Amino acid sequence: MDRIHVSGMRFYGYHGVFAEETKLGQRFNVDLSIGLDLSRAGETDDLRESVNYAELYEATKHVVEGEAVQLVEALADRIVRHVFLLDPRILEATVKVIKPDPPIAGHYEHVAVEINRVRGDYV
């Protein structure tokens, strides 16, 4: 299966379990990968035969900067659902939501949740 990747997207959202997360907000980084057949796009050099990267970015932004959820798992799930709504040719999606600054004491780079969903099993 062919893939489109949009990596390192950065947003500001108000998701979290703790009051300070939902009041002050925090950064969220997102990596998105979708699976679909890109053979027609390659043959025709026509954007209509692919999925517009800007639309993938905007769908992700809409979710992350939109309605707050408590869990990063729920945020990842919502992103995948919105991505599947963009185009019926998207057969599979993997999203990784990275929380670089969670309110956890200790030394670490970040915490992240990655989910993978197949359209037929999910939508």
As for how many domains the chain has, the answer is 1
Q: Report how far residue 64's alpha carbon sits from residue 48's, in angstroms, rounded to the nearest whole number.
A: 26
Instruction: Respond yes or no: is residue 61 known to be catalytic.
Output: no
pLDDT band at 102; cut points 50, 70, 90: confident
CA–CA dist 55, 25 (Å, integer):
24
What are the DSSP calls for 64-85, one per residue?
Answer: HTSS--S-HHHHHHHHHHHHHH
Nearest partner of 34 among 13, 58, 7, judged by Cα: 7
| Mean pLDDT (whole number) for 44-55 | 97
How far is Cα 8 from Cα 17, in angstroms, rounded to an integer?
24
Q: What is the pLDDT of residues 56-77, one digit of tens each?
A: 999 999 999 999 999 999 999 9
Spatial contact of 67 and 105, defined as CB atoms under 8 Å apart: no
**Rounded-to-integer distance, Cα 18 and Cα 70, Å:** 8
What range does the domain containing 73 cover?
2-122
CATH code, domain with 102 = 3.30.1130.10
